[in-house]
């Protein structure tokens, strides 16, 4: 049976609150929880928003700020901090990468030696950035919160045009609400996207708890991204919709277990079932003592466990055969006990 490996990303995002020590601790917690990678966000406020741009309602609710520029400025990571985080992740043994919000951010991350890039849902319609990321010809993850299928197809066309194909592209289903209510998740869209887009499809989970991520694996998600925080009560835009380390580990453990459960979809008995079948299924057995030379009638036969002899489906074929030897009552019957043996 196939144990499909689901790639799990611990989205540290901006949950470091601008503090390098906290960012490094998030990397360590991601590793301990069993994530495959830890991801941050690479931006400069002036490259992303104009001064005075408002915050989203959830951001205002979590930070008390209505000034998106000021909020983002406080959450920036410098090039030096990126280098230190990358080196720390290399040392402890977890993949580091990030979401770039500018062409310069893409170039910096590539220079750092990241193995993949991830585009934010908000950048799906930002053609220049999507194309520049695609031209790097490394695995590319595209989140699709707020998007229509037409917009997703359009972004994939840009990517194909920039790199020649969609090899290594994964599209993430996502609901851009923080937290996302259960009724808004629409996990069945993962099946639709996998069928219609022709690329790997994963899930970026902004819901509360761990259930949605595990359920997403059951409907075909090959990658799961979930926010990780050291403390969900910390100030900041994303902490309250993030998992603390212990819960994140429970999610990863659940994903790994469900992945093993799903298998390859081919209905065949497992080795354990074949062993069980020997004692749980039946064979044709002798209901009476049968003398050598006796022509067998149905009344002489019964079906009993174990399944180590002639299968019950073959009982009608046995009727009329002549016993080659004396057969005791309750014996499990074999074809070589009868003249002519098994039917051809």
Q: Are residues 228 and 179 part of one domain?
A: yes
Nearest alpha carbon to residue 114 among 78, 140, 143: 140
Query: In this structure, are 191 and 77 located in the same domain?
Result: yes
Range of the domain at 294: 271-337
Indicate whether 133 belongs to any domain: yes
pLDDT, tens only, 161-213? 999 999 999 999 999 999 999 999 999 999 999 999 999 999 999 999 999 99
Whether 21 shows a pLDDT value over 90: the answer reads yes
Q: Give the pTM.
A: 0.88
Asked whether residue 171 falls in the same domain as residue 291, the answer is no
Residue 191 and residue 276 in one domain: no
Residue 304 sits in a domain whose CATH number is 3.90.1210.10
For residue 276, being part of any structural domain is answered with: yes
The three-state secondary structure class of 118 is strand
Q: Identify whether residues 116 and 246 lie together within a single domain.
A: yes
Q: Check whether residue 163 and residue 290 sit in a common domain.
A: no
Q: Which long-range contacts (CB under 8 A, 24 or more apart) does 276-281 make?
A: 277/307, 278/306, 278/307, 278/308, 279/305, 279/306, 279/307, 280/305, 280/307, 281/305, 281/306, 281/307
Of residues 1 and 88, more confidently modeled: 88
Which domain-ending residue is among 199, 229, 262?
262
Q: What is the pLDDT of residues 292-309, one digit of tens each?
A: 999 999 999 999 999 999
Determine the Cα angle at 234 with ends 228 and 239, to 5°: 35
Same domain? 83 vs 116: yes
130 within domain boundaries: yes
3-state secondary structure (DSSP) of residue 146: coil
Q: For residue 179, is the peptide bond before it cis, meaning its omega torsion is within 30 degrees of 0?
A: yes
202/67 same-domain check: yes
How far is the C-alpha of 278 from the C-alpha of 182, rounded, in Å? Answer: 45
Say if 2 falls within a structural domain: no
Is 343 part of any domain? no
- Residues 139, 243 within the same domain: yes
Domain count, the chain: 2
Phi, psi (deg, nearest 5) at residue 136:
-75, -15
Query: How high is the mean pLDDT of the chain?
Result: 95
Judge if 254 and 278 occupy the same domain.
no
Q: Are 45 and 189 members of one domain?
A: yes
Distance from chain centroid for Cα 208:
17
Q: Is 65 exposed, middle or buried (0-12, 13-18, 19+ CB in 10 A)?
A: middle
pLDDT in tens, 79-131: 999 999 999 999 999 999 999 999 999 999 999 999 999 999 999 999 999 99
Do 25 and 104 belong to one domain? yes
């Amino acid at each position: 049976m196939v144990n499909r490996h689901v790639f799990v990303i611990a989205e540290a995002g901006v949950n470091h609150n601008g503090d390098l020590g906290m960012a490094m601790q998030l990397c360590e917690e991601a590793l301990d929880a069993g994530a495959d990678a830890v991801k941050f966000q690479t931006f400069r406020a002036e490259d992303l928003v104009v001064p005075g741009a408002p915050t989203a309602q959830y951001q205002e609710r979590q930070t008390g700020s209505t000034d998106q520029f000021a909020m983002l400025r406080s959450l920036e990571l410098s090039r030096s901090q990126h280098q230190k985080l990358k080196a720390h992740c290399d040392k402890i043994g977890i993949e580091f990468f990030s979401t770039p919000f500018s062409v310069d951010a893409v170039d910096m991350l590539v220079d750092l030696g990241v193995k993949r890039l991830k585009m934010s849902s908000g950048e799906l319609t930002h053609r220049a950035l999507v194309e520049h990321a695609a031209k790097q010809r490394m695995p590319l993850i595209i989140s699709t919160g707020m998007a229509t299928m037409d917009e997703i197809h359009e972004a994939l066309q840009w990517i194909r045009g920039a790199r020649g194909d969609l090899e290594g592209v994964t599209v993430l289903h996502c609901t851009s609400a923080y937290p996302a209510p259960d009724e808004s998740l629409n996990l069945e869209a993962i099946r639709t996207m996998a069928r219609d887009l022709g690329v790997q499809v994963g899930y970026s989970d902004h819901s509360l708890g761990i259930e949605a991520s595990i359920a997403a694996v059951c409907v075909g998600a090959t990658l799961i991204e979930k926010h990780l925080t050291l403390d969900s009560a910390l100030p900041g835009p994303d902490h309250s919709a993030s998992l603390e380390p212990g819960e994140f580990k429970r999610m990863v453990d659940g994903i790994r277990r469900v992945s093993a459960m799903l298998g390859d979809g081919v209905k065949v008995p497992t080795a354990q079932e074949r062993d069980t079948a020997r004692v749980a299924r039946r064979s044709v057995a002798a209901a009476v003592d049968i003398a050598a030379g006796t022509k067998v009638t149905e009344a002489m036969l019964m079906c009993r466990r174990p399944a180590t002899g002639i299968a019950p489906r073959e009982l009608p074929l046995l009727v009329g055969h002549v016993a080659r030897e004396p057969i005791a009552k309750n014996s499990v019957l074999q074809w070589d006990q009868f003249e002519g043996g098994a039917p051809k």
